[in-house]
Amino acid sequence: MKKRLFVLKLVLVNVILIPHLPFAISIFKNIFFKVPKNKDKAIIIVPGIGCSTLHYLGKTNNTYKHGECVFFRGDMYTWSLLDLKDSALKALRNYRLLCCNKDGTPLYKNVGLLTDYTDVDGYDVNLSKYGFSLMFKKIIDFLTQKYGENTNYKYKVYLYNYDWRLSNEVNGRALYNELKKYGGGVILIGFSMGNLVSCKAAALLYNDNDLNRIKAFISTFPPYNGSLNAIKFLKTGMMDYPLFNILNKVFRINTVLKMLSLNYSSMYELIPNKQFFKRRKGFLYDTDNCRLNYRQTILYLKNDKNINKMLLNNAVKFHNNLYIGGKHILDYIKNKVFFIGVGYKTEDALLIDRKYINVVKNMSYSDGDGTVNSKFGAYPPCDVDEEDIIYVKCRHNELFSNTKFLIELSNAVDMYV
């Protein structure tokens, strides 16, 4: 009899009590030690490529100081290489630190985002707070004053910096972890390539059945379908800036920029994708005026021995993975507003030379922000009401200093705070 009772007790403990113990403990905690729900909320601005400063993070030596900016040294909106306060040779020295391996990872592990400013002499913390050239200062100060933690809205307003050399897949996962901190919800404002980073984070939230954490997504000057500038940059390293063209004749800057970009995952993810082709039936023309389709365009790029085939294939996968159940992740975000740049001629076709594979020239233009074509590159790849699209006459790199845009952005945020 005692043996039967012992066996019965053993069964009760192992079969009933132990398996359900964690559940019982959680019920007990919820009743007697209820943890208050995280109600923190934020307005997060996700910048574009090149908008976050990168720094030397190693120990100070004869060549570099700890915390020294190795990219974007001046306070004007231009590449650091063009900052006339530094010699071209010194700037070229810094660009060496920005190289990536063929798998897209940084070559130098001691270069990245600066998070601790306590032991950095003379470093302007505002560069990280407001982005390169203090580009986002006006918008962050404006939103902080209106919706910040010292107002009734109680939103934390800040710029989300990331290493823009890396894949938007990697940076999107990091942003996803950042969004998880805010139980009260997030108003996400993406700028340029930051929209692709935001889409990846949103896709991960969707997989967690937590997409409602994004109270609203405000997309500004997005390259959802790609930009022809990415192809031109990978092939030639050239940019359409007058000062750049002048200095390039002396220093051959484009060769350095091309070398760097060839192993930047993010640059490949800005190449026009299938959605671009659906809107623009071919955008590469050879010297015989033959129009290339999407498959031929990818083959054309792969035929260049300098192009990183692995990163190109990964970029195609990245865009494909933003589609869930046949729909783009944007289709699943309930509240969204799109700001698209217009009023400036923007390439919609390039002329290539198959014989001289690095010869790429502008062929034709249509409307856009000077960097991303409004109809083919920026238009959202989802079902969208035209009333949710706001067209702004502004150049790509001047958006956040545009007063009219700030007013329209404030009106958009007002709807969702």
> What are the tens digits of pLDDT across the range 355-399?
665 667 777 888 999 999 999 999 999 999 989 999 999 999 889
Q: Does residue 410 fall inside a structural domain? A: yes
Residue 117 in this model has a pLDDT that exceeds 50? yes
Write out the two tokens for 277.
Answer: 């082709």
Residue 11 in this model has a pLDDT that exceeds 50? yes
Region of residue 59 (left: phi > 0; alpha: psi -120 to 50; beta: else):
beta
Region of residue 370 (left: phi > 0; alpha: psi -120 to 50; beta: else):
left
Percent of the chain with pLDDT over 90: 47
Burial of 304 (0-12, 13-18, 19+ CB in 10 A): middle
What's the residue count for the chain? 417
* CA pair distance 313, 300, nearest whole angstrom: 13
- Per the structure, the complete domain to which residue 162 belongs is given by 41-51+135-414
- Name which of 55, 70, 76, 49 is nearest 261 in CA terms: 49
DSSP 373: B
C-beta atoms surrounding 336 within 10 Å: 22
Residue 281 in this model has a pLDDT that exceeds 60? yes
- Name which of 129, 108, 127 is nearest 69 in CA terms: 127
Beta strands in 129-171 (DSSP E): 156-159
Residue 77 in this model has a pLDDT that exceeds 70? no
Beta carbons of 199 and 177 less than 8 angstroms apart: no
Q: Residue 342 in 3-state DSSP?
A: strand
Choice among 130-134, 135-139, 216-220, 240-244 with the minimum mean pLDDT:
240-244
Q: Does residue 98 fall inside a structural domain? A: no
Q: Does residue 366 fall inside a structural domain? A: yes
Q: Does residue 278 fall inside a structural domain? A: yes
At 253, is the pLDDT very low, low, confident or very high (cuts 50, 70, 90)? confident
Q: Does residue 17 fall inside a structural domain? A: no
Choice among 106-120, 221-235, 372-386 with the minimum mean pLDDT:
106-120
Choice among 1-15, 55-69, 104-118, 206-220 with the minimum mean pLDDT:
1-15
C-beta atoms surrounding 137 within 10 Å: 16
Torsion angle defined by CA atoms of residues 394, 396, 397 and 402, in that order, rounded to the nearest 10 degrees: 30
Residue 76 in this model has a pLDDT that exceeds 60? no
At 404, is the pLDDT very low, low, confident or very high (cuts 50, 70, 90)? confident
Residue 27 in this model has a pLDDT that exceeds 70? no
| 3-state SS record for 127-176 | HHHHCHHHCCHHHHHHHHHHHCCCCCCCCEEEECCCCCCCCHHHHHHHHH
> What are the tens digits of pLDDT across the range 310-352?
999 999 999 999 999 999 999 999 999 999 999 999 988 888 8
Q: Does residue 114 fall inside a structural domain? A: no
Q: Does residue 119 fall inside a structural domain? A: no
Query: How many Å from the N-terminal Cα to the C-terminal Cα in the chain?
Result: 69
Q: What is the DSSP string of 246-266?
A: HHHHHH-HHHHHHHHHTT-HH
- Name which of 35, 42, 51, 163 is nearest 100 in CA terms: 163
> What are the tens digits of pLDDT across the range 207-222?
999 999 999 999 999 9
Give pTM, 2 decimals: 0.86
- Is pLDDT larger for residue 73 or for residue 219? 219
Burial of 153 (0-12, 13-18, 19+ CB in 10 A): middle
Mean pLDDT of the chain: 83
Sign of CA dihedral 136, 151, 149, 333: negative
Write out the two tokens for 165.
Answer: 């050399």
* CA pair distance 107, 276, nearest whole angstrom: 32
| 3-state helix, strand and coil shares in percent for the chain, rounded to the nearest 5 | 45, 15, 40
Number of domains in the chain: 1
Beta carbons of 214 and 205 less than 8 angstroms apart: yes
> What are the tens digits of pLDDT across the range 136-188?
999 999 999 999 999 999 999 999 999 999 999 999 999 999 999 999 999 99
Which amino acid, residue 20? H
Strand 214-220 to 284-285 pairing: unpaired
Write out the two tokens for 148.
Answer: 């910040």
Q: Does residue 13 fall inside a structural domain? A: no
Q: Can you count the helices (H) and strands (E) in the chain?
A: 15, 13
| CATH number (domain holding residue 393) | 3.40.50
Contacts of 18 (CB under 8 A, 6+ apart): none
